[in-house]
Amino acid sequence: MLMKHSICPSCSVGCGINLINHNEKIVGTYPYKGHHINEGKNCLRGRDSYKLIEENNFSIPLKKKQNKLIESDWNTVINSISEIINSYSKDKIGILSSGKSTNEENEVIKNFAEDNGIEKIGVYTHNFPKIDEEIMISDYDEVNNASFVFIIGNVLLENPLIGRRIVIASDKGTKIFSADYTDKSITSMNSDNYFKFSSISEFLSKFPKEIEDKFHGNSVIIFNKLEAKENYKEIIDIANRNNAKILPILPEANSYGSMNYLTSLDKNELLSMISSIKVLIIIKNDPEDNLLDDEINLELNNLDYMISLNDSFKESMEIFDYIIPIPSWAEKNGSFTNTIGELQNFEKIIDMNKGVFPIEKVFDEISKNLD
């Protein structure tokens, strides 16, 4: 039995985890007490992250026949995808990556698009824009010692290791204010004052003086949701006029890093891209997790072909015409960039299953067949 350090893929906080390898199978996790971010603590999603490697795992390419996905083979699927790309003008082809892809994978995706004249390419970041490196980003220790914390979203539930630091600050006497859509949440119940809103945009445009007056000393604004990219600038404006720092908690493990390689797309930009193309290649975007939206699905229905590269298969992926299995984060060397811009490298824990190919091989083989 072997135990190796890795980085949790569940969100962008970047917690360390130990994965337990027994006979080339990941059987569990163990606290990584030496990691500077989470110090051995992991949320439920982190502790269960090892299940992502085996659950819904598949190693045989799939293609749609008579409206049903069936098992195929590597050469058939690669050749079919190449023929599809060759049969359309490049402006009718789009590529959509996600924050689940490593930095190295996103570089491969970017290079493939550039080499083959595909300009409609991006990463869906759930309305977060590329993080401005000139902005004052709070580190995690500053949350522990903040004099005031203002939260947008249910951070204590959805990002518990940041929530732990907020609770530590509260225990020291820090005032915690929060705002969200719901009547009650884990975060609201642990706040000194809670503001319910129906629109983040409207709330920020009429930012309550009651909150503004609380900013003093080393204050931090923490947020894990936005309605539009413009909300990010509005939050920065609030932080700047109050000499506060911000901590944007991005939606996926490598959302920050992905935006360094690919254009960040909010929902409207994604809809615009989909409506202008006929072929969409989607990498590590599971419709069940982050594309299940009536408006987006309506646009997806208008495409001629949808091609997926993914490390797992779920029923929601029946919408695709071709699916190629690629390795999970634990089956390769790579890196994520966490939500505070820290590059985190990790090593392969187990070997890839036979029939699974890394993204660079997939795109290399497709490229060989393109005109």
Residue 45 pLDDT > 60: yes
Mean pLDDT, the chain, rounded, equals: 93
212 and 347 housed in the same domain: no
Per the structure, how many domains does the chain have? 3
User: Token pair for residue 144?
Assistant: 């522990």
* Residue 134 belongs to some domain of the structure: no
* Residue 33 belongs to some domain of the structure: yes
* Residue 101 belongs to some domain of the structure: yes
User: Token pair for residue 238?
Assistant: 């609030």
Q: With 0-12 CB in 10 A as exposed, 13-18 as middle and 19+ as buried, what is 83?
A: exposed
229 and 271 housed in the same domain: no
279 and 175 housed in the same domain: no
User: Token pair for residue 305?
Assistant: 């072909």
Residue 354 pLDDT > 80: yes
Among 78, 172, 101, which residue's Cα sits nearest to residue 362? Answer: 78
122 and 266 housed in the same domain: yes
* Residue 303 belongs to some domain of the structure: yes
User: Token pair for residue 274?
Assistant: 């989909």
| CA–centroid distance for 320 within its chain | 21
Q: What is the pLDDT of residues 107-137, one digit of tens each?
A: 999 999 999 999 999 999 889 999 877 788 9
Q: What is the pLDDT of residues 190-207, one digit of tens each?
A: 999 999 999 999 999 999
36 and 100 housed in the same domain: no
Residue 288 pLDDT > 70: no
Average pLDDT over residues 174-191: 97
pLDDT of residue 253: 96
pLDDT of residue 56: 65
Q: Which residue range(s) make up the domain with 190?
A: 140-248
pLDDT of residue 53: 83
244 and 260 housed in the same domain: no
* Residue 133 belongs to some domain of the structure: no
What CATH number has the domain bearing residue 13?
A: 2.20.25.90
The residue ranking higher by pLDDT, 172 or 353, is: 172
146 and 108 housed in the same domain: no
* Residue 357 belongs to some domain of the structure: yes
Q: Examine the fold and report which residue of 200, 221, 248 is the final residue of a domain before the chain moves on.
A: 248
pLDDT of residue 146: 96
Residue 290 pLDDT > 60: no
User: Token pair for residue 270?
Assistant: 């994604």
Q: Is 33 in a helix, a strand, or coil? A: coil
pTM: 0.93
360 and 278 housed in the same domain: yes
DSSP state of 137: B
320 and 263 housed in the same domain: yes
Q: What is the pLDDT of residues 230-274, one digit of tens each?
A: 999 999 999 999 999 999 999 999 999 999 999 999 988 999 999
87 and 17 housed in the same domain: no
Q: Examine the fold and report which residue of 248, 266, 301 is the final residue of a domain before the chain moves on.
A: 248
pLDDT of residue 291: 60
Q: What is the pLDDT of residues 134-180, one digit of tens each?
A: 788 999 999 999 999 999 999 999 999 999 999 999 999 999 999 99
Q: Examine the fold and report which residue of 220, 248, 276 is the final residue of a domain before the chain moves on.
A: 248
What CATH number has the domain bearing residue 219?
A: 3.40.228.10
15 and 30 housed in the same domain: yes
* Residue 226 belongs to some domain of the structure: yes
Is residue 262 within 8 Å of 122, Cβ to Cβ?
Answer: yes
Residue 343 pLDDT > 90: yes
363 and 264 housed in the same domain: yes
* Residue 121 belongs to some domain of the structure: yes
